[in-house]
Structure 1
Amino acid sequence: MKSRTGIVCTIGPQTLDPKQMLKMFERGMTVARLNGSHNNLNWHREAVQIIRSVLPDVPILLDIPGRKIRTCQLIHEPEFKAGEQIILTTDITYKGQIKVPVNYGSLHKFIKPNHTILADDGTLRFTVIRVEGQDIYCKANNEGKLKSAKGINVPFVPLNIPEVTSKDKLMLEFACDINVDFIGLSFVESADHIKSFRDLIEGSSPRIVAKVENQGGLNKVEEISREADAIMVDRGDLSVETSLFDVALCQKQIIDAASKYGKPVIIATEMLHTMIENPFPTKAEVSDITNAVLDGCAATMLSGETAIGSYPIESVDLMKSVALSSEEFVQNKLNDEFPDVGEAIPEVMGQAINMLCRALPITKIVAITRSGFAARMIAVHRPAQPIIAVSDDESAARSFNIFPGTQGIYSNNPFPKESTNHFGKILEMLWQRELLVDQDLILTTGVTYPHPGNRMNAVQINSIAHLRTNLDWDNNKNSS
């Protein structure tokens, strides 16, 4: 049984294999993620080719490094004990073993003695002793090992990092070239930040997943939710940039804000971290997934668990099982509640469709939508029925799979702008592809023209058996 909550799986050395990818998909993977901070561009290009050949309908999310500060690829990964000295440097040409180069060339300009520097999602802590030129001398506050490509945070210190870096532009050009469906933007702090990237994208794809990871992003979460196509709660950086004690509350705040605009939210970081090395999760990890579903997320994400972990397939399987159990609880609760009616027409339509689906024996919802607006306005209310979202834009159709309980389908017949004649043809196409069957009672929604923009003003309820007979689909199928 498929869960309505999506599962984003990070592809890495452990899963860059067609058989592994297919197994993850069969267990519940709905989005394939590539982390642009690791591996080179040729590796990512190859990964996209493999994903497209094995799972052509699965959307691909490429996280671009963005404003996130990381250690560079290190010749020597230093190990240290509490109280020992470690030297960070902004000289990325440094090739020795004494210093650790980081990828932000101006970091040393903003660091002062007694500042706290965190690394690897806050698991490593350092106190700044002094700054000499490009070198930052620190004292380790705890024992550990600083590895390549690990995040560096300096909480509450403005670092004046540009919204769009030169590397971002190169990565964005690469993302467009390899035709990924989503890009993940780090440390988004405003709608303008998203617009600066959107201006560089020609067309509607790739769509933008805004990662809310610091206080600046939390302060502007409403406008970020309006502008982004999806939101990711990156709890690793969020916990060190704000407060570890508030991260669960921040998660709820972000989901609430995004839900107002029907934007899907991905919950990320350490959801099944134990399963990188162990076949079973902790009870706290299971509770974490449950609470993410109860909070209303569209998807949960696996990072190291599927990229480098020893149990990638088991991790996906377990995440799906927990999600299914949580969704059953949510559905039972929703059945006992009457929803508040919102003011915006699309929101009311979404609520009305959800109510119709509870009152009638509807088996499937078909959203005919070029951009995906209709699909996400329905999906945000989490109806029990599966949603089939059909678009005449192939990239858009793939991207619909990020909405909870939604399957994106591409129609190669362009939607007309002067009629709804295509509704029947689309339903026939879905029947021919066996996505609809005679036993289905379906609710179809879309736009009756002329109504440009994000609207949803048509609802039809039909029996597939009646449509098949009355519209002579059998003869059409035989003649084709």
Structure 2
Amino acid sequence: MNLQKTKIVCTIGPSSDSLEIIEELIKSGMNVARINLSHGKEEDHLNIISNIRNVSKKLDSPIPILADLPGPKYRLGEIKNNSLDLSTDDELFLNCGNSNKDELSVWPPGLHLDVKNGAVLLVDDGAVELEITEINKTIIKTKVQLAGKITSNKAVVPRGLPSKLDYFTEETQSAINFVNSNDIDYLGLSYVRNVKDIIRVKEKIKDKNLKIISKIELQLALDNLEEIINHSDSIMVARGDLGVHLPISQVPAAQKFIINLCNQKGKEVITATQMLESMTENPQPTRAESTDVHNAVLDGSDAIMLSGETSIGKYPIRAVDFMREISTIAENDINHKTLRGIKLDQVDSNNKKIIDELIAHGAANIADQLDAKLIVAFTESGSTAARVAAYRPSQPVVAISPDNNAAINLGLRWGVNTINVESFDHIEDMFTFSENFVLEEKLASIGDTIVVVAGLPIGFKGNTNLIRVITIN
């Protein structure tokens, strides 16, 4: 059994959607497969889902599927020949209503209502900058400030001006319909502004048991961060759009702030965007990218994500190999005691689960103090293993569960590796199984120590109330 701590999310696209590449990605360390519903056709997405499920079954390796909603975002329409090169001081007309052959369209309609003269439009995460010089009804006249190439369907963002679009644009509603009709595990909410957006999405998918991942991309989201975290299962630090809406110099501090607050609350957090961006074209990352991944792990990220590197890049498998190698080395430098203290400081006597929390914290502490080989967490739904892992033990956590969904529930949780077993009737059987399992899998040797955590009574979900230290003999 290959124990992995930092989880890796891979975006699947034309470079990686075949059965063969998906299999290699899983073997290299992919833990979660992501589909960006803003790009590609429905038949492409269906093919990706089918291929992931087939390979996952073949390898007996549950791989959760994350689908990203487009969110309330403006985009360029279709461009002749798909691209347009712009030079400094060029004039570009944007039609924000009904387009015609003379203007480039922006959809959905309404951008002209969100902006004013002098505002700056950022295209494709700021690759091109346009200054608005005139607004005439639905036509926006702009002058190119930062030259570059624009292509069809790229995002258009007014710097510092939040979108007034309803969350459920036609594109987003269509994506939700797709999610409700297909085999998806996690739902990524792009351009979340406040809790209202999250609640409205949950109402749309109330018949589906999906984990909600809120993407932090806006200043409004940062302003409402604590309540967004409280209403989400996980958080994504989406640095691409975040670096458009904030001055790029502020993104590192925002990243650390988001991760820290997630760590305090025990919520999973993904750090994403341009982590190994140069590997879209090159066979190895830059030194700066390697350092970026390393630091994201040290900050307390549960997972790190690859986007274009695996979806359209030339070296998708090498990108995962490097991500795995860099994160594994970084794990040796994590200050577990500090991260554990950040979480413990938020537990008080009013917490209904205070006993469970203290048991989980105790298991992580005891494992460290005894230099145990690993922590074995018997869990029904995954909550016991997640609770222990939230205290960032130095040791890997092996979650043992009779529930087939536990591996999906724990797919993003740092440090947790899940196996599926039959239910146990007696606590002593659980202890015996733990000893035999770690020996068979060569996770521990005779004389080594393991820490076992469980919840009693057996079979009841949500309890964490038992610790046992076992010396293997």
TM-score band w.r.t. shorter chain: 0.7 to 0.9
Aligned position for 2:52: 51
1:208-253 CA-to-partner distances (Å, cap 9, x unmatched) read 1100111111111111111111100011111111221110000000
Aligned letter for 2:451?
Answer: L
Q: How does 1:274-285 map to 2 (within 5 A)?
A: 274-285=278-289
Q: Relative to 1, partners in 2 of residues 1:68 and 1:424: Cα closer, same or farther, differing over 3 Å?
A: farther
Aligned position for 2:273: 269
Q: Is residue 9–residue 33 contact of structure 1 (8 Å, CA) maintained in 2?
A: yes
Q: Secondary structure at the match of 1:102?
A: strand
- Measure, in 1, the Cα distance between the counterparts of 2:255 and 2:428: 39
- Measure, in 2, the Cα distance between the counterparts of 1:288 and 1:438: 33
Instruction: Give the superposition deviation at 1:51.
Output: 0.5
- Of the structure 1 ranges 355-364 and 308-317, higher mean CA displacement relative to structure 2 is found in 355-364
1:442-473 CA-to-partner distances (Å, cap 9, x unmatched) read 433333249988542222334676xxxxxxxx
Q: How does 1:41-440 map to 2 (within 5 A)?
A: 41-56=42-57, 57-76=62-81, 77-91=83-97, 94=99, 96=101, 98-202=102-206, 205-330=209-334, 333-334=335-336, 339=341, 341-342=344-345, 343-344=347-348, 345=354, 346-410=356-420, 421=426, 424=429, 428=433, 439=445
- Measure, in 2, the Cα distance between the counterparts of 1:11 and 1:426: 40
Aligned letter for 1:64?
Answer: L
Q: Secondary structure at the match of 1:202?
A: coil
Aligned letter for 1:358?
Answer: D
Aligned letter for 2:454?
Answer: G
Instruction: Give the superposition deviation at 1:166.
Output: 4.5
- Measure, in 2, the Cα distance between the counterparts of 1:73 and 1:391: 49
1:283-322 CA-to-partner distances (Å, cap 9, x unmatched) read 1111111111111101111111111111111111111111
Q: Is residue 359–residue 466 contact of structure 2 (8 Å, CA) maintained in 1?
A: no
Instruction: Give the superposition deviation at 1:392.
Output: 4.9
- Measure, in 2, the Cα distance between the counterparts of 1:19 and 1:270: 25
Instruction: Give the superposition deviation at 1:365.
Output: 2.4
Q: Relative to 1, partners in 2 of residues 1:17 and 1:450: Cα closer, same or farther, differing over 3 Å?
A: closer
Q: Is residue 340–residue 392 contact of structure 2 (8 Å, CA) maintained in 1?
A: no
- Of the structure 1 ranges 137-146 and 372-381, higher mean CA displacement relative to structure 2 is found in 372-381
- Measure, in 2, the Cα distance between the counterparts of 1:158 and 1:425: 53
Indicate yes or no: 2:448 matched with 1:444.
Answer: no
Aligned letter for 1:359?
Answer: Q
Identity between Structure 1 and Structure 2 (%): 31
Aligned letter for 2:466?
Answer: A
- Of the structure 1 ranges 107-116 and 249-258, higher mean CA displacement relative to structure 2 is found in 107-116
- Measure, in 2, the Cα distance between the counterparts of 1:447 and 1:156: 49
- Measure, in 2, the Cα distance between the counterparts of 1:195 and 1:230: 15
Q: Secondary structure at the match of 1:394?
A: coil
Q: Is residue 121–residue 130 contact of structure 2 (8 Å, CA) maintained in 1?
A: yes
Instruction: Give the superposition deviation at 1:348.
Output: 2.7
- Measure, in 1, the Cα distance between the counterparts of 2:205 and 2:338: 44
- Measure, in 1, the Cα distance between the counterparts of 2:170 and 2:74: 14
Q: Relative to 1, partners in 2 of residues 1:324 and 1:436: Cα closer, same or farther, differing over 3 Å?
A: closer
Instruction: Give the superposition deviation at 1:187.
Output: 1.6
Q: Secondary structure at the match of 1:101?
A: strand
Q: How many equivalent residue pairs?
A: 456
Aligned letter for 2:55?
Answer: V
Aligned letter for 1:62?
Answer: A
Instruction: Give the superposition deviation at 1:373.
Output: 2.7
- Of the structure 1 ranges 400-409 and 265-274, higher mean CA displacement relative to structure 2 is found in 400-409
Q: Relative to 1, partners in 2 of residues 1:393 and 1:201: Cα closer, same or farther, differing over 3 Å?
A: farther
Q: Secondary structure at the match of 2:192?
A: coil
- Measure, in 2, the Cα distance between the counterparts of 1:149 and 1:2: 40
Q: Relative to 1, partners in 2 of residues 1:436 and 1:208: Cα closer, same or farther, differing over 3 Å?
A: farther
Q: Is residue 10–residue 34 contact of structure 2 (8 Å, CA) maintained in 1?
A: yes
- Of the structure 1 ranges 434-443 and 400-409, higher mean CA displacement relative to structure 2 is found in 434-443
Q: Is residue 71–residue 192 contact of structure 2 (8 Å, CA) maintained in 1?
A: no
Q: Secondary structure at the match of 2:411?
A: helix
Instruction: Give the superposition deviation at 1:24.
Output: 1.6
Q: Relative to 1, partners in 2 of residues 1:30 and 1:337: Cα closer, same or farther, differing over 3 Å?
A: closer
Q: Relative to 1, partners in 2 of residues 1:143 and 1:339: Cα closer, same or farther, differing over 3 Å?
A: closer
Aligned letter for 1:232?
Answer: M
Q: Secondary structure at the match of 1:365?
A: strand
Q: Is residue 121–residue 240 contact of structure 1 (8 Å, CA) maintained in 2?
A: yes
Instruction: Give the superposition deviation at 1:170.
Output: 3.2
- Measure, in 2, the Cα distance between the counterparts of 1:406 and 1:192: 32
Q: Secondary structure at the match of 2:178?
A: helix
- Of the structure 1 ranges 208-217 and 385-394, higher mean CA displacement relative to structure 2 is found in 385-394
- Measure, in 2, the Cα distance between the counterparts of 1:100 and 1:2: 51
Instruction: Give the superposition deviation at 1:67.
Output: 1.7
Aligned position for 2:25: 24
- Measure, in 2, the Cα distance between the counterparts of 1:454 and 1:115: 51
Q: Is residue 377–residue 400 contact of structure 2 (8 Å, CA) maintained in 1?
A: yes
Instruction: Give the superposition deviation at 1:351.
Output: 1.9
Q: Is residue 436–residue 464 contact of structure 1 (8 Å, CA) maintained in 2?
A: no
Instruction: Give the superposition deviation at 1:12.
Output: 0.7
- Measure, in 2, the Cα distance between the counterparts of 1:3 and 1:349: 23
Of residues 457, 460, 466, the one that matches 2:468 is: 460
- Of the structure 1 ranges 15-24 and 288-297, higher mean CA displacement relative to structure 2 is found in 15-24
- Measure, in 2, the Cα distance between the counterparts of 1:430 and 1:292: 34
Aligned letter for 2:51?
Answer: I
Aligned letter for 2:34?
Answer: R
- TM-score, normalized by length of structure 2? 0.87
Aligned letter for 1:85?
Answer: E
Instruction: Give the superposition deviation at 1:163.
Output: 3.0
- Measure, in 2, the Cα distance between the counterparts of 1:66 and 1:47: 21
Q: Is residue 364–residue 387 contact of structure 1 (8 Å, CA) maintained in 2?
A: yes
Instruction: Give the superposition deviation at 1:435.
Output: 5.6
Give RMSD over aligned pairs.
2.9
Instruction: Give the superposition deviation at 1:58.
Output: 1.0
Q: Is residue 390–residue 410 contact of structure 1 (8 Å, CA) maintained in 2?
A: yes
- Of the structure 1 ranges 246-255 and 177-186, higher mean CA displacement relative to structure 2 is found in 177-186
Q: Relative to 1, partners in 2 of residues 1:106 and 1:441: Cα closer, same or farther, differing over 3 Å?
A: same
Instruction: Give the superposition deviation at 1:205.
Output: 2.2
1:23-48 CA-to-partner distances (Å, cap 9, x unmatched) read 22222211111111110111111101
Q: Relative to 1, partners in 2 of residues 1:133 and 1:370: Cα closer, same or farther, differing over 3 Å?
A: farther
Q: Relative to 1, partners in 2 of residues 1:435 and 1:161: Cα closer, same or farther, differing over 3 Å?
A: farther
